[in-house]
């Protein structure tokens, strides 16, 4: 256990780096699709998208997963979900965050190949997902509890935000 706090420190820094990519890459996608006619601009954005995913996001994701698994190996009682139901909720949220992260690579490749049909509005809405999942994860970890009310409030709040972003604008 003497190494646990060092692994935890590395885990938190890796998670912060991963989240930075998860927050920024969809914003680059918005700029990309909304400025598709500006070829020189799009070429620069493609380079940024590639570098932030390949050099920051993917390594940080794997560092987060590896350090988290190491912490679980050092403290396996956390995997007793009868005593720690929050850990199950955290791991399920983490699984969704990993799927989200991998989906960003798919969209990045589609944008790189000029085959993406998603709108800037879609990517604005999609950009809300890592915020919701990170709030859930941090909430579970800090409180060391699983609250259905907390989870429902966060999910409903972000569903509403997504609805507001995606709803068609009224004609004037």
Per-residue pLDDT of the chain (172 residues; tens, 9 = 90+): 789 999 999 999 999 999 999 999 999 999 999 999 999 999 999 999 999 999 999 999 999 999 999 999 999 999 999 999 999 999 999 999 999 999 999 999 999 999 999 999 999 999 999 999 999 999 999 999 999 999 999 999 999 999 999 988 877 7
Query: Is 43 domain-assigned?
Result: yes
On whether 90 is known to bind a ligand per the annotation, the reply is yes
Q: For residue 3, give the DSSP letter.
A: T
Local structure of 45: helix, strand or coil: helix
30 assigned to some structural domain: yes
Do the annotations mark residue 11 as ligand-binding? yes
In a domain, 95, yes or no: yes
Q: In this structure, is residue 13 part of a structural domain?
A: yes
172: in domain:
no
171: in domain:
no
Q: Which of 149, 145, 146 is nearest to 157 (CA)?
A: 149
Count: domains in the chain: 1
- Report if residue 83 sits inside a domain: yes
144 Rama sector, left if φ>0, alpha if ψ -120 to 50, beta otherwise: left
Alpha-carbon Rg for the chain, nearest whole angstrom, is 18
Q: Is residue 111 within 8 Å of 33, Cβ to Cβ? A: yes
* C-alpha pair distances (Å), 52 with each of 16, 58, 60, 119: 14, 9, 11, 21
Q: Which of 129, 119, 115, 133 is nearest to 29 (CA)?
A: 119
The whole domain housing 92 covers 4-166
- The answer to whether position 93 is within a domain reads yes
pTM: 0.91
């Amino acid at each position: 256990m003497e190494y646990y706090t060092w692994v935890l420190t590395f885990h938190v820094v890796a998670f912060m780096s991963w989240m930075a990519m998860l927050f920024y890459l969809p914003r680059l996608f918005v700029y990309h699709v909304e400025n598709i006619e500006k070829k020189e601009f799009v070429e620069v954005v493609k380079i940024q998208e590639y570098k932030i995913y390949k050099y920051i996001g993917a390594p940080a994701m794997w560092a987060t997963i590896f350090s988290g698994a190491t912490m679980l190996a050092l403290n396996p009682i956390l995997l007793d979900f009868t005593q720690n139901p929050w850990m199950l909720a955290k791991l399920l949220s983490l699984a969704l965050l990993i799927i989200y992260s991998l989906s960003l690579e798919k969209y990045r490749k589609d944008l790189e190949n000029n085959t993406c049909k998603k709108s800037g509005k879609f990517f604005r809405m999609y950009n809300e997902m890592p915020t919701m999942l990170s709030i859930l994860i941090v909430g579970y970890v800090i409180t060391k509890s699983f609250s259905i009310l907390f989870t429902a409030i966060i999910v409903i709040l972000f569903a509403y935000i997504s609805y507001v972003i995606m709803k068609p604008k009224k004609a004037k």
